[in-house]
């Protein structure tokens, strides 16, 4: 058995009871807001329209969330650690890979993603390369974010906005892949 409470022919409350067990079943929240057609005895779901300016705002906000997620996944709260590692690696490289070796370098040489103990030179170069890759990604994310946000703001149709969002999503996925995330 179904029961619907209508107000101006719009469903404001709905319930269904299992006749065999005399229990409520799924109250069909999707029916709420629907219009009841008494001739066909069917519900017509409400048309949900989200205006283009609201969609644009959400799309632009998503670009910030996406970039923040890349930063979080790539470096988390270790910015100062990675900055220090890069600084000492660059100094070691500038010294011709001679002299005192920072623990930032030697620790990475001993325990690194390859699973094999590496040289301090290898570790310094890997630290520098990782820092350069992140800086390249940062600049690309900033530039592309600005470009795609401009397209999003200028979109005059939902299709144009969808295209800009899709291009952004493709870019951010490629960036994550390039960083090994």
- Condensed to tens digits (0 to 9), the pLDDT of residues 90-135 reads 999 999 999 999 999 999 999 998 999 999 999 999 999 999 999 9
d(CA 161, CA 64): 16
pLDDT > 80? residue 157: yes
pLDDT tens per residue, range 20-59: 555 545 545 555 566 667 777 776 766 666 788 989 999 9
By the 10 Å C-beta count (0-12 exposed, 13-18 middle, 19+ buried), 71 is classed as: middle
The two three-digit tokens of residue 157, written as one number: 């149709």
17 beta partners: 24
The predicted pLDDT at position 144 comes to: 97
Predicted model pTM: 0.66
């Amino acid at each position: 058995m179904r029961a619907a409470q209508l107000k101006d022919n719009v469903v404001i409350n709905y319930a269904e009871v299992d006749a065999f067990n005399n229990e409520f079943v799924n109250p069909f929240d999707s029916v709420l807001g629907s219009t009841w057609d008494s001739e066909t005895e069917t519900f017509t779901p409400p048309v949900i329209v989200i205006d283009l300016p609201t969609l644009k705002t959400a799309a632009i906000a998503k670009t910030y969330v996406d970039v923040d997620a890349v930063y979080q996944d790539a470096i988390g709260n270790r910015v100062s650690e990675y900055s220090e590692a890069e600084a000492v690696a660059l100094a070691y490289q500038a010294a011709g890979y001679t002299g005192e070796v920072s623990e930032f370098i030697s620790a990475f040489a001993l325990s690194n993603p390859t699973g094999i103990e590496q040289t301090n030179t290898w570790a310094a170069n890997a630290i520098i390369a990782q820092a350069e890759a992140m800086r390249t990604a940062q600049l690309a994310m900033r530039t592309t974010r600005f470009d795609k946000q401009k397209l999003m703001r200028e979109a005059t149709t939902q299709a144009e906005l969808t295209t800009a969002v899709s291009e952004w999503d493709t870019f951010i996925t490629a960036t994550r892949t390039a960083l090994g995330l």
